[in-house]
Amino acid sequence: MSAEAWLKLALLSNGISVSPEFSAWFADTAGYVRRRNFYNSPNWSSTDDVTPPQELLLAGDRPVIVAVNNYGRPAWRLSWSAESGPVVVSQDGDRSHPVELISDLAAVRTDNAISRLCNLYGGSALAFFSPRACYFFADGTECGFCSLNGTARENDEFAARLTAVDVGDAVKAVVAEHPDEVNQIMIVGGNERDLNRGFRNQVKLVRAASLSLEQAGLADKISVHLVAMPPRDLSIIHELEDVPNVHVGFNLEVWDARRFSEVAPGKHADYTQSEILKALEYLRDVVGHYRAHSILIAGLETPHSTLAGAAALASSGISPIINAYHSDRHSSLGLSIRPTYRQLAEVAAGLQELHDTYPIKPYWKGCGRNALDYEAANGMFRSAAPELN
């Protein structure tokens, strides 16, 4: 049994509070990744003395990355003592598990010109976010889970829009110093009203990252991952077909059509779920089977519906990405919805069956702090879910 993978689900369901002892120790400890909000803010507590880490490594036989989503209520607690080091402890104190913090990349930590462009995500992905705005917020039709608008106002030290030169130079500098510590480049951002122009801009960033990897001899080792809204003109997708080792996602968010209109009203009105599905099929034919991806968010619809969507995608050559819903402070849904551990365990078990049936490629190569697909790809949900709540 992979105890770490199941514990991850409990932590994603309940959140992790941060003890004063951990906060005091973390404040005096250099070199680890601090939370750097490019587009989300799942830290609801106002009592912490320091910014918490953005993720942890659950140590053990099969270590996994998990987000530190602090929902301001006791459930699991991140603590520290001289004897134990950092641990997560259950509310009743009966269970604890050792954790490790993620060391930041020196090239990102020490160079302000780089740190305003990107960050280390999940311990192994170099992540870029551009643009830091989305046109759905203009008329209040943004996705209900999205906190981009508020987070961008709250944290203005990051570049609002990146150029191909920005991305290419940053990738070149980081992989020159850390060729063995990065396994994927992530490019994601908000959406422009002109979806064709917006997609072409994202393609420029992808190609710049890919060129820097090719020049460093790392294109086969480090993949480039893009998530964006599909363009209106699907033929633009062909601009990605000669990019080596590329993975691309158009996110559906939920599978149930009625729920899609509620969760993603802008996407529903401006593109429609059926057209996104057509775009995914087109994408699959351009970049290759199972290198086209789409997120479904566990907790925003029933487990049955999430798994029905994941099965439909997998059977058509599209790799589903399953993220657990994390409640962001600036989102309209906020804490009004929380998936239970049992709901996430049901989704994880069903996802495991799909990974055992189809050659699904995980979008996250071990860095998905809110995601379940890396664990399923590595067979970590084949055992019965233990009682953790």
pLDDT in tens, 114-152: 999 999 999 999 999 999 889 998 899 999 999 887 777
- For 72-83, what is the mean pLDDT? 87
Quote the CA–CA distance of 34 and 54 in Å, as a whole number.
Answer: 6
CA distance 16 to 388: 14
pLDDT tens digits, residue range 213-248? 999 999 999 999 999 999 999 999 999 999 999 999
Asked whether residue 80 is assigned to any structural domain, the reply reads yes
Task: Say what the pLDDT of residue 92 is.
Answer: 82
Q: pTM higher than 0.85 for the full model?
A: yes
Residue 212 domain-assigned? no
Average pLDDT of the segment spanning 19-34 = 89
pLDDT at 46: 61
The reported pLDDT for the residue numbered 358 is 98
167 lies in some domain: no
Q: Calculate mean pLDDT across residues 169-189.
A: 96
Helix (H) or strand (E) holding 129: strand 125-129
pLDDT at 229: 97
Domain presence at residue 45: yes
Do the beta carbons of residue 2 and residue 59 sit within 8 Å? Answer: no
pLDDT of residue 47: 52
Does a structural domain hold residue 190? no
Whether the bond between 131 and the residue before it is cis, its omega within 30 degrees of 0, is yes
What is the C-alpha separation between 27 and 11, in angstroms, rounded?
23
Residue 89 DSSP SS3 = strand
What angle separates helix 195-215 from helix 164-177, to the nearest 10 degrees? Answer: 30
In a domain, 142, yes or no: no
**Sheet with 125-129, side-by-side order of all strands:** 118-121, 125-129, 184-188, 223-227, 246-249, 292-298, 319-324
| 52-56 contacts at long range (C-beta below 8 A, 24 or more positions apart) | 52/18, 52/23, 52/26, 52/78, 53/26, 53/101, 53/102, 54/102, 54/121, 54/369, 55/102, 55/122, 55/123, 55/369, 56/16, 56/86, 56/88, 56/99, 56/100, 56/101, 56/102
- List CB contacts of 160: < 8 A, sequence separation 6 or more: 130, 131, 132, 133, 152
Return the pLDDT at 347: 98
| Structure tokens that stand for 188 in this block | 């994601």
Which range has the worst mean pLDDT, 50-59, 168-177, 191-200, 256-265? Answer: 50-59
**Lowest-confidence pick of 188-192, 234-238, 290-294:** 188-192
Tell me whether residue 1 is exposed, middle or buried, using C-beta atoms within 10 angstroms of its C-beta: 0 to 12, 13 to 18, 19 or more.
Answer: middle
On the question of pLDDT at 159 being above 90, the answer is no
Tell me what pLDDT residue 389 has: 65
Reported confidence tier of residue 379, pLDDT bands at 50, 70, 90: very high
* Average pLDDT of the residues in 273-294: 98
For the cut 70, the answer to whether the pLDDT of residue 204 exceeds it is: yes
Rg (CA), the chain: 20
pLDDT of residue 1: 54
Query: How far apart, in Å, are the Cα atoms of 268 and each of 195, 232, 261?
Result: 15, 14, 5
Residues 272 and 260: beta-carbon distance below 8 Å: no
Q: Which residues contact 196 (CB under 8 A, 6 or more apart)?
A: 231, 232, 233, 236
Residue 38 lies in a domain: yes
Q: What is the pLDDT of residue 152?
A: 72
Question: Average of pLDDT values for 298-323?
Answer: 98
Report pLDDT for 150. 76
Could you read off the pLDDT of 67-77 as tens digits, one per residue? 999 988 778 99
Closest CA to 221 of 170, 188, 186, 185: 185
Specify the number of domains making up the chain: 1
Question: Is 148 within the bounds of a domain?
Answer: no
Instruction: Tell me the residue range of the domain where 57 lies.
Output: 3-100
The pLDDT of residue 50: 64
* Confidence at residue 36, expressed as pLDDT on a 0 to 100 scale: 73
**Mean pLDDT of all residues in the chain?**
93
How much of the chain, in percent, has pLDDT values that exceed 70? Answer: 97
